């Protein structure tokens, strides 16, 4: 007689191994509805929203985000995966800085394609299992479920941190109707360290684990559609024109992590060469440059706004 638990253990192990084969750095499984920490994380989201810390990111208010069952009927498990995007061959632009997560191929498409391949594998191994892919465009408590799956913990800078791979990870998920064997939820290893909080130039980390978006350089350079930046943001850009990596650059867990040196994470040449002359690019040129990257979220007029704001507080002339 076949032991049901042994079968579940074996298929759970194979599922995580398949994720690694597809190119993910780390993988873990959580049971739905999860432990009590999911409720605590949901409560934290509600406090964050009630304080309007999400600024103009109204999509964060979606009620479905608080209930994973709303994304797939009869959901029982979730596979969480992390994709390393830091590449040792990437070079820092000496003038204008672009956050590392966006320097290569559009991670949404990269992760979705890999998860789709895993889905095909699920169809063969578990024919009766229904599944749903979620990247960060889905209303899901992503980092909470990643933490619940044991692939890392939510750091004081609100990024998911892996003990071995640091925080240079984009996340993906597959929700399944199959009852699998969960991994142990990860415990926080930030301890008393406040380096990320101390180094944020705009004090956007208003308390451990809480980001006030309208104080965040990444929010203003990527999400904000205002024509001008608040003075405090403008004065502290220090070259950032698309996102900001400061709180990750200073994190001790990122001091020595494995790189992912493939074409998907390789920096686009134009990013390395971004300069003052880029202000003269027309919309067609910007569209061509941004094609295939997540940076297309930043519209051409926003790129020019971001560049001009940096120049305004430097010795360079437009």
Catalytic residues: 136
Q: How far apart, in whole angstroms, are the C-alpha atoms of residue 251 and residue 217?
A: 17
Contact 71, 138 (CB under 8 A): yes
Distance between CA atoms of 65 and 85, rounded to whole angstroms? 25
How far, in Å, CA of 295 to CA of 267, rounded? 12
Alpha-helical segments (H) within the chain? 4-21, 36-50, 107-125, 142-148, 195-199, 217-218, 231-235, 246-249, 269-272, 283-290, 300-312
Provide CB contacts within 8 A for 107, sequence distance 6+.
83, 85, 101, 135, 170, 294
SS3 (DSSP) at 169: strand
Instruction: Give the residue from 99, 206, 101 showing the smallest Cα distance to 157.
Output: 206
């Amino acid at each position: 007689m076949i032991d049901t638990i042994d079968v579940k253990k074996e298929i759970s192990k194979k599922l995580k191994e398949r994720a690694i084969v597809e190119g993910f750095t780390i993988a873990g499984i959580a049971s739905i509805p999860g432990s009590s920490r999911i409720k605590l994380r949901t409560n934290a989201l509600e406090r964050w929203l009630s304080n309007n810390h999400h600024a103009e990111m109204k999509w964060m208010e979606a009620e479905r985000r608080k209930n994973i069952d709303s994304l797939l009927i009869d959901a029982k498990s979730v596979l969480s995966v992390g994709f390393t995007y830091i590449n040792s061959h990437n070079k820092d632009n000496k003038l204008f800085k672009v956050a590392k997560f966006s320097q290569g191929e559009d991670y949404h498409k990269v992760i979705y394609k890999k998860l789709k391949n895993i889905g095909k594998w699920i169809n063969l191994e578990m024919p009766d299992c229904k599944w749903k892919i979620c990247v960060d465009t889905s209303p899901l408590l992503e980092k909470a479920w990643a933490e619940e799956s044991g692939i890392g913990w939510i750091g004081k800078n609100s990024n998911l941190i892996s003990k071995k791979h640091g925080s240079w990870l984009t996340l993906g998920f597959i929700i399944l109707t199959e009852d699998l064997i969960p991994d142990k939820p990860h415990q926080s290893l930030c301890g008393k360290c406040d380096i990320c909080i101390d180094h944020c130039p705009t004090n956007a980390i208003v308390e451990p684990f809480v980001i006030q978006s309208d104080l965040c350089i990444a929010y203003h350079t990527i999400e904000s559609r205002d024509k001008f930046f608040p003075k405090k943001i403008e004065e502290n850009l220090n070259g950032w024109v698309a996102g900001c990596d400061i709180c990750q650059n200073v994190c001790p867990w990122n001091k020595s992590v494995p790189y992912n040196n493939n074409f998907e994470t390789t920096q686009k040449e134009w990013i390395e060469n971004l300069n003052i002359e880029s202000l003269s690019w027309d919309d067609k040129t910007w569209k061509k440059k941004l094609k295939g990257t997540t940076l297309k979220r930043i519209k051409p007029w926003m790129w020019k706004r971001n560049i001009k704001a940096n120049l305004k507080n430097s010795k360079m002339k437009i």
